[in-house]
Structure formats: C-alpha cells, structure tokens
Amino acid sequence: MQTLKYAVGAMVSFNILLAGWLAAYMLYDPEGWYNFVPGVTDTGFFNQHFVRDIGIIQGFIALGFAVGWFREERRIELWGAATLWLIAHALFHLWEVAVGICSSSVLLRDFPAVSLPAIFGICATIWACSRYPRAASADRPLTTPS
C-alpha cells in the first residue's frame, strides 16, 4: 500500500509541477510560451488574452492538486474537478485528430503534457475515492438539521 501512495504522490507531483510551470510561463511570458511549446504555433495566431486565460486554468489545476494532497477531506472534489478539465483537454486533442484538423502524430508529441496529466489525474482520483471513509460518511446526515 505504501508503494501505491508513493506512486500517487509522484503522479500528483507531476501534475502540480507541470501545471504550475505552465501557469507561471503562460501568465508571465505568453508569447514566449506560444513560441516555445512544439505545435502551438500550428493551432492559430498568437492571442495573449487566450494564453493567459489558459494559464489561469493551469494555476487552478496546480492549486487543486496541491491543496488536495494536504487536505484529504477535500481531495476527491479538488482532484476530480482538475481531472475533468484535463480529460476534456485530452479529448479535445483526440477530436482534432478524428476530424482531420491535426495528424495522428500530434498525439504522441502532445502526450506528456496533455494525455499523461489526465491519466495521472484519473489514477489519483480513483485512489482517493478508494480511501474515502464511506462508513463515517454514512453516519452523517445529508443536510444540516434545523
């Protein structure tokens, strides 16, 4: 069980570091990020506002995974919400390939920064759900008594 916890810790750390780096880079130097990341220039013209919007989202993803690591009682909601965005982002990349916007080679190129964080988020969230104290929650009322 301890090995599994370390593996989840590594996955969550990866997501925190990647999303945190993306947030900082996108917010501080959006044009530098646009020109640095392979394939981004192929997706359309540079839009500073859009890059910074996504940078803010990446910051919340990093924050959600980081706070969730230390706040076990909030872990499922925080990791689950962050993971839903990561899944949607990865599915959007798959859709672009499916409809012919991009070639299938971009999936491999984008895997470390697009699909892998989503996979790690899914694994970490499933792990968090498996550790949730269901017995304790069954004793709690669904609403607060008046």
In a domain, 89, yes or no: yes
**62-64-70-72 Cα dihedral, nearest 10 degrees:** -150
What is the tens place of the pLDDT at every residue in 3-16?
Answer: 999 999 999 999 99
Q: How confident is the model at residue 143 (pLDDT cuts 50, 70, 90)?
A: low
In a domain, 78, yes or no: yes
In a domain, 139, yes or no: no
- Max CA pair span of the chain: 59
By residue range, what is the domain housing residue 78? 2-38+48-132
In a domain, 43, yes or no: no
Q: How many structural domains does the chain have? A: 1
Q: Which of the pair, 79 or 42, is modelled with greater confidence?
A: 79
pTM of the model: 0.87
In a domain, 144, yes or no: no
The reported pLDDT for the residue numbered 141 is: 55
In a domain, 87, yes or no: yes
What is the tens place of the pLDDT at every residue in 102-142?
Answer: 999 999 999 999 999 999 999 999 999 998 865 345 555 55
In a domain, 115, yes or no: yes
In a domain, 142, yes or no: no
The reported pLDDT for the residue numbered 136 is: 45
The string of DSSP letters for the chain reads -HHHHHHHHHHHHHHHHHHHHHHHHHHH-HHHHHHHSTTGGGGSS--HHHHHHHHHHHHHHHHHHHHHHH-GGGHHHHHHHHHHHHHHHHHHHHHHHHTTSS-THHHHHHTTTTHHHHHHHHHHHHHHHHHS-HHHHHHS-SS---
The reported pLDDT for the residue numbered 146 is: 52
How far apart (Å, rounded) are the C-alpha atoms in residues 22 and 31? 13
What is the tens place of the pLDDT at every residue in 26-67?
Answer: 999 999 999 999 989 988 999 999 999 999 999 999 999 999
The reported pLDDT for the residue numbered 132 is: 81
